[in-house]
Every structure is written in C-alpha cells, then in structure tokens.
Amino acid sequence: MIGNRVVITGAGVISPLGDSPARLHDSLGRGLSAIKPIKLFSTEGLGCPLGGEIADFDATKYLGQRNLRPLDRTSRLVASAAQLALADSGWSIEMRNVQEIGLVLGTMFCSLHTISEFDRRALEAGPAYASPMDFSNTVINAAAGQTAIAHNLRDVNTTISTGVTSGLEAISYATELIRSGRARALLAGGADELCFESFYGFDRAGLLCRSNVTAGDFPIPFDSRRNGSALGEGAALLMLEDVALARERGAKILGEVVGHGSSYDCSRGQDSVQAVEAIASAIRHAMSDAFLLPHEIDCLSASANGSRGGDQHEAEGVVAGLNGQTQKLPVTAIKSMLGETLGASGPMQAVSLLETMRDGVLPGIPQLHQVEDDFPLTMARSKNQEADVINGLINSIGFDGHCCSLILSRGEEN
Amino acid sequence: MDRRIVITGIGVVTPIGIGCEMFWNNLLAGQSGIAPVQSFDTSEYNVHRGAEVKEFNAEDYILNLDAAHLGRASQFAIAAARLALADAGVEIGSLDRKRAGVSMGTTSGEPREVERFDDAYVSKQLDRIGPEFIQLYPCHVIAAHVASELQFAGVNTMIPTACAAGNYAIAHALDVMRAGRADLMLAGGSDAFSRITFTGFARLGAVAPEICQPFDRFRKGMIPGEGAGVLVLEPLDRARRRGARIYAEVAGYGLSCDAHHMTAAHPEGAGAERAMRQALADSRTNCEDVSYISAHGTGTATNDRLETIAVKRLFKDEAYRIPISSIKSMLGHTMGAASAIEAAVCALAVFSNRIPPTINLNDPDPECDLDYVANSARELPVNIAMNNAYAFGGNNASLILRKRELLN
Amino acid sequence: MSTEEIRTKVKKSIVKIANINFDDIPDNASYKDDLQLDSLTILEIAVDAEYQFQVKLSDDDLGVLRTVDDTVRMVQQYLSPVMAA
C-alpha cells in the first residue's frame, strides 16, 4: 500500500436488523434473523417466500419532511444511510464549506423496480404517459445522483456495479482515490432494494433457499443442509478520509482500510478450481496490499450466504489464500441473518466488523450445526465468539465470477 | 511500475462503422448513422429516428462464448474488445491473464432483458422468463462477459455512470494500472439501443425529429444511439518493449458531481468546469496547450449552451482558439459508449493530427460562438486532446490524452 | 367536467408529486416561483395531468404551462369538443 492512509470516521446503515451500527451488531449478536415472509410484494407462485425486508421503512425519519417523491426506494435507502454516516462522522456544515465530500456507491441493480415500472406503464398506457420522474431513476447511477443532491455532495461521485461485490469494490475504489490524493473525504458503500423483479430472477435461477417451515431455518451458510440464499435489502456507507484530515478535525477513528484485492473467475462459478483460485487470488492481493501475513488476520467475515457451491468455494479459497493458516481463524457469515443484500452486503460486513473490533464479539452463524467432513473452516461456529480483532478480512464473492477482499484494521483509539 | 499509461489499441462498434479504420474514415467524411429506428415499432411515439448499429454479426467476434446467450451490449463490448486487441497486435495467448483486466461503463446494461421481462409480465406470461434473466440482465455482465470470453482473470469493474460512463471506466483503468494492479486493461463502454431509453428521452422532449445539430441555432435535441468503444491500455515501457503502436498517453482526468438536478446540468456549468479544471491540473496541462476538445455536445438546447459557458469560463481567451467538435452529430448519443468512442477519437486525433467535424452546423447559435469545426474535418497539430462527458445524476468527467512524442 | 373539478385533480397531482399541502396551493400558483418546483417535477405534473385526463399535449403546449391556471385551461381545451382551429 502506497499513499495516504485511509481511515473510517463514521458509518451509516439502514437494515432490517437496525439503523445504527450498534443496533445492527446487537441484533446479530443475539442471533436475530431478518429473514421472514415477504410483505413488500406477493411471492405467490415463487419457490421462496422469505426475504430480509426492512419493514415499514420510512425515509422521512432520516431525511425530514423534504419532498421524497422523486426518490425511489433505493435512493431513499442510500440518502438515509448517507445522512446517518455524515452525522456519525461529525461532518458539520462549517466543515463542509471548506472540504467537499464525495460518494462512491456500489449497487447491483439500483432501481430495477423503477426501470420495470417505467417500462410497463409505457407498454400499458402508451409511451406518451411514461413518467419523466421515474425515467430519471432508471439509470443505475440514479441513487448516487439523488443522494448527492439531497446532501450536496459535489466531489467525486461514482457508481460501481459488479454484482454482490459492488459495495466492497466501491470501498476499494474510494480507498484508491484517497490514497492517491484525488479525494480527501468520501462516503463509500453500497445498497440494493428488495423488489419483485430481481427476486423473481433469483428465484427462477434456483439460487434462493427453500424452506418447508416458517422463517428461521434457512439460509445456513456453510452448513451441509444449506440449499440456497435469501435475498435481503439495505444500505451501508462508511465515511472514509485521509488520516491527516481526520486528525485535523479531531474525528474519531473507528478503523482503517489497509488492503483490498479483487479478481475474476472466468468460469463464472461453474469450474470449482477456477472459482477457488479466483477467491484465493483476491485474498492474496488484499494481504499483499496490506503488507500482512496470514497469521496476522484475526477474523474472517465471509460472503457465504447459503449457496451450495459458493460457500464451499469460499471455504477452500480462504484456506488457499491464507496458506492454510485457518485453524485458529474465527469466522462469521452475517448473511445468515441479513440475507444476501447484494450491493449493501460487503459494507454491512464492514460495519459489523468495526463493531466486533470495538466490543470483541464476533456474531455466530445461527443454525450452523453440521458441516461436510472436509469442511476446513473449523472456527465457523453457531454461537458468538470472543475475538480480539486487530486485522479483519472481509470477502465479497459473487455467484457469477466477481471476487473482492478487504482488510480493515482497528482504530488506534480502541 | 511505469506510471505512464498509453493506448495501444482501439476497437469500436458504431452506427457508422465497425472497426477503427472504417469508423475513423467515415467520421472524417462527416457520415451520419442516424436513420429510422428498426429495432422496435415507434408508431406510438412522436419521434422515430435513432442511430443503430447496422450489419453487426456477433458470431464474427464471439469465439468462446455462445453469442446467442449474450445480451446485445455484451456482444458489442466483446466485439470492440477483440477488435482493440487485434488493433494493438496483442497476442492474447501470451498474456498473464491474472494481470489482465476489464473496466467498462454503461447506461442501461442489457435493457432488452428487462424489456422481455416486462413484455411477459404485462401479457401475464411471466413464466416465459427463466433462469437466464438474472444471468443476462445485471449490468456487470458486460465486463464479466468480456473477461470470460478472453479469460481475463484480473480486475473486473463495471461503472454505470450513464452518459459519462466511458470516461469513468477509462479513468479507473488508468488508476488501476498506475497502482500496478494490472499489466493490461481493456477500458471503454457499451450500450444497446433501448426502448426504455428511447421512451424516456422522448418523454422528456429531448429527442430531435430528424438530425442531431449540436451548437446550431435550430438544434432540437439529441438522437438516441448504441455502440461500444474499447481501448487497450498498457504501461509505456511494456508498449515500447513489444514495439507496439502508441496512439496516445492517457495523461489524466477529472471527476465532479453537480449535486443539482437529476436530468439537467447546473445552470452555470459549474460541475462541468470543475471536472475540466481537475483534468488539466491532474495532467499538468495548461489551457494554452490544449489542441482539441471532444465535446459532450448532445444537441439539446441546454447542454450545448451550458457546455459553451463552462469552456469559456475555464479557458477564457483560449476558448476561442481551441477547435471543439461533437461527434454525436454523426453517431447520435451512444450513451455509456459515447465517451469511450469519443476518447478513441481523441486518441486518433492526437495520433493523426486530424479532427472530425460537427456536422449539420449551418447556423451557429450566437450563444455557442466558439470554433465547433463546422461540417468539415480538419488537419492540424493535435498535441493534447480533452474529452468531456456529462451524465444524468450530475456525473461529470473529463479525460486528457497526450501525444506520445511529448512523453519524456 | 367543470373547471373546479379539473383544478382539484391538478392540485391533487401536485400534492402527490411535490408533497405540497393541497391548501397551500393557490389557484393560480406559478410552478417555479410560488411552488419552487424544478423542471422535472413540473414535467411530471404535466404528464400526470395528461394521464389522468387521457389527453396528449404537444411538446409546444407542454412548454407553456407555467401556472396551475395554464394547466387547467389547457386540459379544458383538449377535453372540449370544440377546439380552437
């Protein structure tokens, strides 16, 4: 790693398990699951009725009484998380008159629901009655644009869309901009909404878990009974700054981004050897970027989401990437409780990891009771673990090829 | 690690030609790719013209993957990628694939997939949509498919910053290479003609009925288009070692956000000016050194006026010297591909000392009184070219390309 | 349909799209100056009016809608069987 050090001075999260890092972490620590029967839309005829929905999401709680009609659900999630992150990191109006803030957002779909509704209305009523306001939200950078308008974020504004890894890639992208001095303060993270259109797509592709009982049993990352993931939704943004700026303004430092790495599995998940090697590659790049050796990683926040093939590839990829030094590596997989939140997933893992660094509690993986004989991550547990985490590794692994790894270090104040 | 990154190959799929040579010749000749829309029925609309790619045979370019199982934007991207690599004389088999990456931009991803979904939904036959929807639709598939076709296992990024996406993708590739994370990057953008996009722009009243005439007094708007542009980026020392033809150096870039309005630019062009200013600073270029500007120039009343204001505010007197053209006058607005194709044009301009015209410019708007290279291509020394792009959501990006002879 | 019915529907559109209280919309409110609406919102209100009343305004007509009264009058014109030639 060369260049400015990149620290984290705050975080904002909107999730079904809490709208603050502390509340989210507390829920995860208590093994609460967000995966419940979906109310946002009908799942009749679909194989999976469950999802991690944010019940009664009301953006006015975070954004006040301004007109939110131009913002669709995804934009509201992002703008709300941005509000929380800005507040949490103590960026006052005075400070912002002197230093512009930017936004790098990862999202897989942005607003597929809006895109679809816009198109359907034009189909049904004729193109003359298509909604201009909805059209402005059909571009995949819409949520980032809306959030910039809502919070006057005039520095770099980028959207990254690489599937499940989008959010972690956004944090990596932002990190590089700050390292090179191109930006000094960036909100970075990701979001995706739960909507019928994408849910249908995942369900039809056989990626979603099946459960004969009501919510609670599936998905179970790493478990030998796992049969798919559950989709979730949310938004999580970290406030990233160069360390000099953070110190100048007396900001609290929650942690530091010390390394990132990514690679691509050309077989798109179809060939196990290539998939495992791609995951290992991303981890090695991150380790090398951070100048860390495998034994110096104190915990893993896995991307595992209950996928039959994906979870196994990750386990093997982690072992390969860390040169086999995994027997004493505590492992968590919070998608067990949040579901697969796509663009928000990696950033939510980061938010949770920062909390673990603060209170030494690594959430368990509820219901993880049985694993295959050759399952190598011996410290993936169903119960919470105590963990003194100085360096934590986060993985984001897509179901169709993208791999990204991020390493965070504990803030000096902790 | 050599921080000087150069363009060694160009591949394009455009409404006026596929492949660098055909495209460049047609562009200089002022050919237009705008014609009646073929890919869907526009009878219910009050505009009917677009810039579609003609005679594109995907199978000619897609050799490993099955073209029939790819969306159109992915097909364009792969074609442009292969053309670029061939143009660069790169032996794909000899590359370290883990150090070869892809950075692409787009506006809509694969819109036909969601259009199919909506058609099925509206006719209550949703079960026609199967597992392929999630495999083909999400926009990251464009970069993913390029990588899968070529077996590039390195960095793989998709930056969907709408009409400025190509510049963002190239800027990102530049950073990736400067950080030593890749030895070769394919960078560019791709978009397929889309009913959704056409409907939206038509509904905004932004679409011209006949032609695209940027900076003209009688301009009536933009014309939606499609296409792809991909550049091969390599470190200078590697390019020299293998005797590659070097089009230009990617010298720097600037990014900014208007934070003002989702579909309309800042009324004083402030964001656009900031992006240009940053690009000049980043590449250590003075105003008087800029030889040519490839404008965003969509042909809408507002864009062309605001863009002119921004250029004048930044360049002051120099603004009147610098030739500026908008190739959207010929290609229409190819969305996420636009600034990638325009970057290719800047590279070609720097390499050949020729610049394309803005066609249909017969009666310049008095508010657009700069040299917009009306109607004929021009020969002149082009040392440094600037490529500007502005997008929905207020995303602005400027890229600077520099002549290789200026590299020390 | 009476003028008042049209005006009420147009105002309800504004309530829905711009989140402004019905009672805070003067009968002859100017979209830009009185209600502080941006161009996209103004267009959305116009399209919503077209949709609700099932009329199709030309781009030129859309361009001159500056106040609530303008919209009401335009809708009336399109709905009435006797149109100015």
Q: Write the pLDDT tens digit of every residue in A309-350.
A: 999 999 999 999 999 999 999 999 999 999 999 999 999 999
What CATH number is attached to the domain comprising C27? 1.10.1200.10
Tally: H helices and E strands in chain B: 12, 15
For residues A293-304, give the mean pLDDT.
98
B258 vs A312 pLDDT, higher one: A312
Average of per-residue pLDDT across A48-76: 95
- Residue A67 distance to chain C (closest CA, Å): 5
Interface test with B, best of A107, A111, A266 (most B CBs within 10 A): A266
Question: Exactly one of B145, B172, B266, B296 is catalytic; which is it?
Answer: B296
Beta carbons of A108 and B138 less than 8 Å apart:
yes
Position B247 in a domain: no
Mark which of B241, B267, B290 sits at the end of a domain: B241
Rounded distance between C-alpha atoms, residue B324 and residue B373, angstroms:
6
Write down the pLDDT at residue A413. Answer: 61
Name the residue range of residue C67's domain.
Answer: 3-79
pLDDT tier, B393 (very low <50, low <70, confident <90, very high otherwise): confident
Same domain as B378, residue B311: yes
Locate the chain B residue with the closest alpha carbon to A207.
Answer: B131
What single string gives the DSSP state of each residue in A98-167? HS--EEEEE-SSSSHHHHHHHHHHHHHH-GGG--HHHHHTSSTTHHHHHHHHHHT--S-EEEE--GGGHH
| Paired tokens of B337 | 């591909």
The string of DSSP codes covering B65-129 is S-GGGS-HHHHHHHHHHHHHHHHHT--GGGS-GGGEEEEEE-SSSSHHHHHHHHHHHHTT-GGG-
Same domain membership, residue B168 and residue B291: no
Q: Is the pLDDT of residue A381 over 50?
A: yes
347-366 in chain A: CB under 8 A from chain C: none
Residues of chain A neighbouring C50 (CB-CB closer than 8 A): 128-129
Average pLDDT over residues B185-199: 97
A131 touching C, CB under 8 A?
Answer: yes
| A232, A34 Cβ separation under 8 angstroms | yes
Residue A355 sits at φ, ψ, to 5 deg, of -65, -40
Closest-CA residue of chain B to A179 = B179
* Residue numbers of the domain that contains B68: 5-241
| The pair of three-digit structure tokens given for residue A14, joined into one six-digit string | 């909107």
Query: Domain count of chain B?
Result: 2
Q: Using CB atoms, pick whichever of B159, B263, B271 lies closest to residue A136.
A: B263
Q: How confident is the model at residue A174 (pLDDT cuts 50, 70, 90)?
A: very high
3-state secondary structure of B32: coil
Residue B178's φ and ψ, nearest 5 degrees, are -65, -30
Does the residue C39 lie in any domain?
yes
Distance from CA of C54 to the nearest CA of B (A): 15
Residue B212 belongs to some domain of the structure: yes
Q: Say how far apart CA A166 and CA C31 lie, in whole Å.
A: 39
Q: How many CB pairs under 8 A join A and B?
A: 231
B-chain residues near A154 (CB < 8 A): 256-259, 271, 274
- Give yes or no: residues B160 and B263 share one domain: no
Task: Return mean pLDDT, chain A.
Answer: 95
3-class DSSP state for residue A179? helix
**Considering only CB atoms, which chain A residues are within 8 Å of B203?**
127-128, 130-132, 135
Q: Does residue B48 sit in the same domain as residue B99?
A: yes
Write down the pLDDT at residue C84.
Answer: 47
Total structural domains within chain C: 1
| Amino acid symbol at B147 | A
Active site residues of C: 38
Residue A213: pLDDT above 60? no
- Examine the domain organization and report whether B268 and B216 are in the same domain: no
What one-letter code names the amino acid at B232? V
Domains in chain A, please, with CATH? Answer: 6-255 (3.40.47.10), 258-408 (3.40.47.10)
What ipTM was estimated for this complex? 0.96
Helix, strand, coil % in chain C, rounded to nearest 5:
60, 0, 40
Q: CATH number for the domain including B322?
A: 3.40.47.10
Q: Which residues of A touch C40 (CB under 8 A)?
A: 70, 132-133, 136
pLDDT at A361: 98
Q: Does A208 touch chain B (CB under 8 A)?
A: no
Looking at the fold, whether B233 and B259 belong to one and the same domain comes out as no
C19 with A69: Cβ contact below 8 A: yes
Confidence tier at A35 by pLDDT (50, 70, 90) = very high
Assess A70–C contact: CB distance below 8 Å, yes or no: yes
CA nearest neighbour of B286 among B277, B294, B295: B277
Q: What is the 3-state secondary structure (H, E, C) of chain B?
A: CCCCEEEEEEEEEECCEECHHHHHHHHHCCCCCCEECCCCCCCCCCCCEEECCCCCCHHHCCCCCCHHHCCHHHHHHHHHHHHHHHHHCCCHHHCCHHHEEEEEECCCCCHHHHHHHHHHHHCCCHHHCCCHHHHHCCCCHHHHHHHHHHCCCCCEEEECCHHHHHHHHHHHHHHHHHCCCCCEEEEEEEECCCHHHHHHHHHCCCECCCCCCCCECCCCCECEECEEEEEEEEEHHHHHHCCCCCCEEEEEEEEEECCCCCCCCCCCCHHHHHHHHHHHHHCCCCHHHCCEEECCCCCCHHHHHHHHHHHHHHHHHHHHCCCEECCHHHHCECHHHHHHHHHHHHHHHHHHCEECCECCCCCECCCCCCCCCECCCEECCCCEEEEEEECHHHEEEEEEEECHHHCC
Residue B301 touches chain C, beta carbons under 8 Å:
no
Q: Is the Cβ pair C40, A125 closer than 8 Å? A: no
Residue A214: pLDDT over 60: no
How many other β-carbons are positioned within 10 Å of the β-carbon of residue A174? 28
Same domain, B186 and B257: no
User: How does pLDDT run along chain C (85 residues), one tens digit per residue?
Assistant: 889 999 999 999 999 999 899 999 998 999 999 999 999 999 999 999 999 999 999 888 888 999 999 999 999 998 886 544 4
Integer Cα distance of B24 and B27 in angstroms:
5
Q: Which residues of B touch C38 (CB under 8 A)?
A: 261, 264
A414 has pLDDT over 80: no
B232 plus B274 within the same structural domain: no
Interface size, chain B vs chain C, as Cβ–Cβ contacts under 8 Å? 16
Residue B102: pLDDT over 50:
yes
Give me the pLDDT at residue A162, please.
98
- β partners of residue A12: A237
Catalytic residue among B20, B139, B163, B212: B163
From C84's Cα to the closest Cα of chain A, the distance in A is 23
In chain A, whose CA is at the least distance from the CA of B141? A162
Give the residue-averaged pLDDT of A362-386.
95
Q: Are residues B306 and B171 part of one domain? A: no
Q: For residue C33, what are the contacts with CB-CB under 8 A and spacing of at least 6?
A: none
Across A65-84, average pLDDT: 95
Q: What is the pLDDT of residue C83?
A: 47
Residue A384 in this model has a pLDDT that exceeds 50: yes
Read off the pLDDT of each residue in A174-191 and give the average, rounded to a whole number: 97
Determine which helix (DSSP H) or strand (DSSP E) holds B133, and give its type and residue range: helix B132-136
What's the Cα-to-Cα distance from C29 to each of C5, C41, C62, C68, rounded to whole Å?
17, 15, 17, 6
**H or E element in which residue A405 lies:** strand A402-410
How do residues A111-148 score in pLDDT, each as one tens digit? 999 999 999 999 999 999 999 999 999 999 999 999 99
Check: pTM over 0.90? Answer yes or no: yes
Task: Tell whether B177 and B268 lie within a shared domain.
Answer: no
Minimum-distance CB partner of A263 among B98, B126, B261: B98
Contact A69 C17 (CB under 8 A): yes
Nearest by CB to A129, from C20, C41, C47: name it.
Answer: C47
Percent of chain A residues past pLDDT 90, beyond the cut? 93
Quick check: is B163 catalytic?
A: yes
